[in-house]
Amino acid sequence: METSTDSNTNTNRFVYITATIAALNGLLFGFDTGVISGALLYIKRTFELSPAMQEVVVSATLVGAILGAAVGGRLADRLGRRRLMITGAGVFFVGSLLMGLAPNVPWLVAGRFVVGVAIGVASMAGPLYISEIAPPKIRGSLVSLNQLAVTTGILLAYLVNYAFAGPGGWRWMLGAGVVPAMVLGVGMLFMPESPRWLIERGRNEDARSVLSRTRTDEQIERELRDIRRTEEVEEDGLSTLLQSWVRPALVVGVGLAVLQQITGINTVIYYAPTIFESTGFEASASILATVGVGLVNVTMTIVAVLLIDRVGRRPLLLVGLTGMTLALTGLAAAFVLPGLSGLVGWVAVGSLMLYVGFFAIGMGPVFWLLISEIYPLQVRGSAMGVVTVANWASNLAVSFTFLSLVGAVGQSGTFGLYAGLSVLALLFVYTKVPETKGRSLEAIEADLRDGSSGAYSDATAETVEDAN
Ligand code: BGC
């Protein structure tokens, strides 16, 4: 006979396996944004690319991601979360093949763009799906597995770059994306659709059978009742997104999306070796230090996964942003203080590691988690799409301006600017961002609807008794 501990273990196992497969979306996202820095060194020799063409090759993916997030949001609500992810994995597979086999530059740029579309979809679909299948008590950790996969993907990309370094190696670097794409696509065929999307489509029995794999009977009835109640009061999808009661959540999502990027994270993720070289390190030492940055990113994300459901979202954001501000200030100082000339390389390495570490326990995972939690069911996909577009567009703006900004105001001025923007982010989080720890998605939605109560004004909002 199955004891309740056995069934609890099975329940947890099922939900962890599902979340891990879905988190491969994050791995693809991280891998393909990280791999280009190394691949570019060889691509530019194969095709004799001008600096302008190199920029096109790099940014084609970011432009694709903006488009992918824009259509992905609507498709998540129409097609369902699962079908969207399977399609996304297919697009990823095709894009990776196009890049790996590219006979000329237009093919390569087309491949980068196609992969970008898939990344845009993956970046929002992973957190959305995991959030909707997760029991509230462990939702933070489960959704953050996606960000853990993003950082692992970036680290993997740095290592693959190292392994395939050499003429022609770029084809393997870029083509390697087919492997996780296949695992995601095939894996998702065996995973269930999101119970919340099923209810939204009136498929109550299907939803019940999905929930029965992760909840007790009593929890299922309560959860189904809550989800249906949320669903009944809804009006037509898109018009809901524009209504005034949803606005606070849109402000929070778009605000965090922009702030996550304009505090400079991707100048480090994309340009770390360049920054290190400018402080006097040799090329090989710079690459090694970059792998170090990748490791810190993964390690501190693990810390966030372990803490996020215990200490909550706001404390992690506040501590993370305070640390980022201090580290950026240290970095800015390292480039101007007299007497540091011999040490500047080491101060820069230390500050960059601290900066990435503090990003990884706060803004990295918590942004993606919160945007999967704070929107009403009927427009959750579309709203996440809008927010994700804002994130990728800001990413493009920052990556594109970084080198010219350094040219205009120096490294010190640039990192000083990011430090100032981190202070702005700190104020934004302190005044606007709700605590969602331990609450059901339906309770969060009810607070938003009420306008003044619950998570939006009370950071110590009550927790639901859960469903684990
Ligand atoms: C951000 C990415 C960034 C990554 C770094 C993600 O949360 O959205 O832009 O490259 O974290 O770990």
pLDDT tens-digit map of 210-238: 888 877 787 788 888 877 777 655 555 56
pLDDT attached to residue 455: 53
Q: Look-up: residue for tokens 């190696």?
A: 169
Q: Look-up: residue for tokens 């056995």?
A: 6
Class of domain 10-191+241-467: mainly alpha
Q: Tell me which amino acid residue 89 is.
A: A
The predicted model scores a pTM of: 0.89
Range in 14-18, 158-162, 420-424 with the lowest mean pLDDT: 158-162
Distance 45 CA to ligand 1 centre (A): 28
Q: Give me the residue spans of the domains in the chain.
A: 10-191+241-467
Rounded to the nearest 5 degrees, what angle is found at the Cα of 261, between the Cα atoms of 255 and 263? 95
Instruction: State the average pLDDT over residues 265-289.
Output: 82
Nearest CA to ligand 1 atom 8: 364
In this structure, the number of other CB atoms found within 10 A of the CB of residue 392 comes to 26
Instruction: State the average pLDDT over residues 25-49.
Output: 89
Instruction: State the average pLDDT over residues 381-410.
Output: 93
The Cα–Cα gap between 191 and 209 comes to: 13
Long-range contacts of 95-100, Cβ-Cβ distance < 8 Å, separation of 24 or more: 95/177, 96/32, 96/174, 96/175, 96/176, 96/177, 96/178, 96/181, 97/175, 97/178, 99/171, 99/174, 99/175, 99/177, 100/171, 100/172, 100/174, 100/175, 100/178
Which range among 13-22, 199-208, 224-233 has the greatest average pLDDT? Answer: 13-22
The yes-or-no verdict on residue 355 having pLDDT over 60 is yes
Q: Does the beta carbon of 266 lie inside 6 Å of ligand 1? A: yes
Distance 7 CA to ligand 1 centre (A): 36
pLDDT attached to residue 463: 42
pLDDT interval class at 286 (50, 70, 90): confident
The Cα–Cα gap between 131 and 18 comes to: 11
Exposure of 289 in the CB half-sphere (CA atoms within 13 A): 26
The Cα–Cα gap between 468 and 456 comes to: 25
Q: Does the beta carbon of 361 lie inside 6 Å of ligand 1? A: no
The Cα–Cα gap between 444 and 59 comes to: 37
The yes-or-no verdict on residue 462 having pLDDT over 60 is no
In this structure, the number of other CB atoms found within 10 A of the CB of residue 163 comes to 13
Tokens at residue 62, please? 């970011």
User: Which tops the pLDDT comparison, 452 or 154?
Assistant: 154
Distance 364 CA to ligand 1 centre (A): 6
C-beta of residue 16 within 8 angstroms of C-beta of residue 148: no
The yes-or-no verdict on residue 240 having pLDDT over 50 is yes
pLDDT attached to residue 238: 66
The yes-or-no verdict on residue 269 having pLDDT over 90 is no
Termini Cα distance of the chain: 21
pLDDT attached to residue 466: 40
Nearest CA to ligand 1 atom 1: 364
465 burial level (CB within 10 Å; 0-12, 13-18, 19+): exposed
pLDDT interval class at 467 (50, 70, 90): very low
Distance 449 CA to ligand 1 centre (A): 31
C-beta of residue 134 within 8 angstroms of C-beta of residue 437: no
pLDDT attached to residue 457: 47
- Model pLDDT for residues 89-140, shown as the tens digit of each residue: 999 999 999 999 999 999 999 999 999 999 999 999 999 999 999 988 999 9
